[in-house]
Amino acid sequence: MKIKLTDEQATELARWRRDASLKPAERDRVEMIALSDSGWPVARIASHLGYSIETVRRLFRRFPKEGFLAVRHEAPGPAKDEERRRQVEGALEKLLRQERTWTAGQLAEALRGEGIELSARQVRRYLGRVGSWRRTKRSLSHKQDPEKVARAKETLALLANELKQAG
């Protein structure tokens, strides 16, 4: 399995070799094509660039159909759904405007009421994109009854003294 480039493809190869936007793995793929055009066998190309033979073959099978677009490394998974992202972020912003504190699990449950199924982990990922939300630890000290706090501190002090005397 070898690739023999036409004159047009050779010119295109030279342009791709100078493309600064290529990622390192994409540069390696361009080099695989160039080496194959120079007559190198698949096994030697794979060994020289540190890839498996099947990786080189996969590129060479895609190249006749896709051309140099086969060089680009696409992220795995489905394409991004921008409309859904906007829908989820809009619903989250609406919920976060309420005067209350939310956990990711509570937000996930509230979103289910609006027909959006997300786990708490997925909600946290969306919250990272929403500018009005900060992940902070909030203290409830401003809501505590001062008399109860004083009694609890006295009880804890007594218990601490008892432990010192027993130990």
pLDDT digits (tens, 9 = 90+) for 57-105: 999 999 999 898 889 887 667 778 899 999 999 999 899 888 888 888 9
User: What gap in Å lies between CA 59 and CA 120, rounded to an integer?
Assistant: 39
Overall pTM surpassing 0.75 (yes/no) = no
Rg from Cα positions in the chain: 30
Q: CB under 8 Å to 100, separation ≥6 — which residues? A: none
pLDDT in tens, 144-158: 788 888 898 999 999
CA distance 143 to 155: 20
pLDDT at 137 over 70: no
**Span 134-147, mean pLDDT?**
66
Instruction: Report d(CA 30, CA 32) in Å as an integer.
Output: 5
Q: Which residues have a Cβ under 8 Å from the Cβ of 110 and sit 6 or more positions away?
A: 95, 102
CB under 8 Å to 137, separation ≥6 — which residues?
A: none
